[in-house]
Amino acid sequence: MNKNVGILGVPMDLGQMRRGVDMGPSAMRYAGLIERLENLGYDVEDHGDVQIPQREKVASKETNLKNLDGVIEASNFLAEGVNKIIEDNRFPLVLGGDHSIAIGTLAGVSKHYKNLGVIWYDAHGDLNTGETSPSGNIHGMPLAVSLGIGHEKLKEIGGYSPKVKPENIVIIGARSLDGGERELIREKGIKVYTMHEIDKMGMTKVMEEAIEYVSNGTDGVHLSLDLDGLDPAEAPGVGTPVLGGISYRESHLAMEMLEESKILTSAEFVEVNPILDEKNKTATVAVALIGSLFGEKLI
């Protein structure tokens, strides 16, 4: 993994309706993220936070997509910031913020790769569109948007579409999928490891297969990790918790195996909401997982 890291915070809560997730980047920094990476020998450059428009000023008209204009504006800023980090030959580590930020992250990352692979570590598929979403919350749409499916202005963030191909995506930890998402997964042949597969096969086998799958024919791999992929007992500070999730130890193993594989070229950790948390537990978990992802060992 690139020993030069560029951190970019995205304090955005526009992609959903539960306030507080905009404090996620600060919570992860407060939990010792930068010091942890520096202790592992990384040269860390913190680029601060992307400017996010105020919620009260971005209400979108003539669409059921909530805060559409604000998400578009923030996504463009984020894509530009991620692009600059990569051009500076640094590994982009993006801190969220709700999962709609992945629209901007992938727009900034994918332009540097001909065939980007994506590992989507999440309880949800985030494959909804305005037509299939029960809520209109854009944090349930970033993977669909990145596939070139959904609202035209969201798809064209960064000036091109699609950002990823369905055969280069692996979803890990899914246990809450809407009907439209299930149809899209079947239609596009997207690889999904639900909690059933994790329970049945074990995390080691799941990660071995996922790493092999997402490495096949790709020239870079992005990790998008939603903290609600973990069980709420391990990560309570998330906006859309779903019972029966991945354990803390299984998640560490997954990050350790990704580090050993040397395939990752970018990553983001999202949906840390301190307002819903217990003594910054979820941010602390996120930073611990980032430590494993960047090579932290017990011995």
In the chain, DSSP assigns E strands to 4-10, 43-49, 91-96, 116-121, 169-174, 191-194, 220-226, 264-270
- Please confirm, yes or no, whether 228 is among the known catalytic residues: yes
Q: What are phi and psi of 291, to 5 degrees?
A: -55, -45
Cα 174 to chain centroid, rounded: 14
- Please confirm, yes or no, whether 271 is among the known catalytic residues: yes
Residue 245: asked if its preceding bond is cis (omega within 30°), the reply is no
Q: Which position among 13, 73, 124, 234 bears the catalytic label? A: 124
3-state secondary structure 64-96: CCCCHHHHHHHHHHHHHHHHHHHHCCCEEEEEE
- Please confirm, yes or no, whether 126 is among the known catalytic residues: yes
Q: Which position among 99, 151, 222, 252 bears the catalytic label? A: 99
- Please confirm, yes or no, whether 43 is among the known catalytic residues: no
206 Cβ contact partners less than 8 Å away, ≥ 6 residues apart: 172, 193, 197, 198, 254
Tokens 């999962």 appear where?
Answer: 99
Q: Which position among 13, 22, 73, 126 bears the catalytic label? A: 126
- Rounded to whole angstroms, the Cα distance separating 141 from 120 reads 13
- Please confirm, yes or no, whether 56 is among the known catalytic residues: no
Q: Which position among 98, 122, 181, 231 bears the catalytic label? A: 122
Q: Specify the length of the chain in residues.
A: 299
Whether residue 271 contacts residue 238, with contact meaning beta carbons closer than 8 Å, is answered with yes
Q: Which position among 139, 151, 222, 252 bears the catalytic label? A: 139
- Rounded to whole angstroms, the Cα distance separating 241 from 101 reads 18
Q: Which position among 226, 231, 250, 256 bears the catalytic label? A: 226
Cα angle, residue 285 at apex, residues 122 and 289 outer, rounded to 5°: 70
- Please confirm, yes or no, whether 156 is among the known catalytic residues: no
Cα angle, residue 58 at apex, residues 57 and 61 outer, rounded to 5°: 120
Catalytically active residues, by annotation: 99, 122, 124, 126, 139, 226, 228, 271
